[in-house]
Amino acid sequence: MYALTAEITIAGKKFTRVNEVEIESSAKVLEDTCKIKLPATARLTRAGEFISEVETAKKFKVGDAVKVQLGYGNSLRTEFEGFVAKIKPGTPVEIECVDAVWLLRRKNLKESFRTVDLGTLLEACVEGTPISLVGTVPTIQFKNFYFKNVTAAYALQKLKDDYGLTLYLKGNHLRVGLTSFTDNVVVKFGLGQNVIENNLEWVDENDTRIKIKAVHWRKDNTKIEKPFGDADGEERTVFFYNLDREADLEKMAIAAAAKFKYSGFKGGVTAFLLPNAEVGNVARLSDPQFSERAGDYLVDKVTTTFGTSGARRKVELGIKVSS
């Protein structure tokens, strides 16, 4: 049997005992977050000899660097790196952390552009930080665009929300794209095998109804929104940029709706710490009782928990990418 192990490093101080850890990562949100619950007091040792006992909360401050490693036995994996965002004294002490977006929250932007492309805007947001862009930056032009005394984190989240961009941090890399980003790393999950529990629902494409809200951003940075598809369907928003003809919007919106109509699973699975799974991976799901239902899905969200009651990794599925 494998023994669960942890190594938590905060401001250079290492802990191997922890009440609970919860790490959340999502393609829909810019930052990863981590909550760490530690004993209210800790024993300090040197060379195995007891030195003193200290109050845990007083040893840390907002902005301290954090590294969380979890695993089995001597095999530890870095699950989170970031900074302390909030400390809640108590029993246990709760420490809330965020990833490198902490640096972007401390960078203010006061810039205006008569004309500018998306790549320039993104570079302005990360300039002066260790964060770099990864992926193919879409060619989108803007007119009369400005940052009015906002943080770089706010600006990126605003670009993500308003323009339908895929933007999220993975370490010091900002993933960029128009569609869901995938690193093509395949993680295998088998129902009744390495899946502990699930909230999966099998849906048939013939029974799926989708309502598309098509958003077209024009070259002058104005937009139009139009509905297409099934009026009573599940709503999905798709974005288009700088179309030469407004008449093309309907055709492209209907074509985009096809990716949301498929026979496959919706929901998520819960497994142990192994296999590793991250946002951007491809979850290869199989069911020994129904081999025809095997398929690949984008990983949209991962919640990792670790504590005295065990360790789990909850994986939420995105769109189906293959059968």
Structure confidence at residue 22 (pLDDT): 98
Overall pTM > 0.75: yes
11, 4 contact by CB (below 8 A): no
Whether the per-residue pLDDT at 229 is higher than 90: the answer is: no
Tokens of 10: 């905060």
CA 313/CA 250 separation, integer angstroms? 40
Report pLDDT digits (tens) over 276-306. Answer: 999 989 999 999 899 999 999 999 999 999 9
Quick one: pLDDT band at residue 170, thresholds 50, 70, 90? confident
Q: What is the pLDDT of residue 257?
A: 81
Mean pLDDT, all residues of the chain: 88
- Specify whether the CB–CB gap between 290 and 306 falls below 8 A: no
- pLDDT bucket at 180, cuts 50 / 70 / 90: low
Give the pLDDT of residue 50: 45
Backbone angles phi, psi at 222, to 5 degrees: -105, 160
Q: How far apart are CA 320 and CA 284, in angstroms?
A: 10
| pLDDT at res. 127 | 93
Whole-number Å distance between alpha carbons of 165 and 154? 14
Q: Looking at residue 43, what is its pLDDT?
A: 55
Integer angstrom CA distances of residue 304 from 169, 228, 278, 287, 301? 17, 38, 10, 23, 10
CA distances from 93 to 10, 30, 36, 81, 291 (A): 13, 26, 8, 19, 47
pLDDT in tens, 114-130: 888 889 999 999 999 99
Instruction: Kindly report the three-state secondary structure assignment for every residue of 181-213.
Output: CCCCCEEEEEECCCECEECCEEECHHHCCEEEE
With a cut of 80, say whether residue 77 has pLDDT above it.
yes
The residue-averaged pLDDT of 184-197 equals: 93
**Residues in CB range of 192: below 8 A, 6 or more apart:** 287, 288, 289
Helix, coil or strand: residue 233: coil
Summarize pLDDT for 138-152 with one digit per residue, the tens.
Answer: 788 888 888 889 999
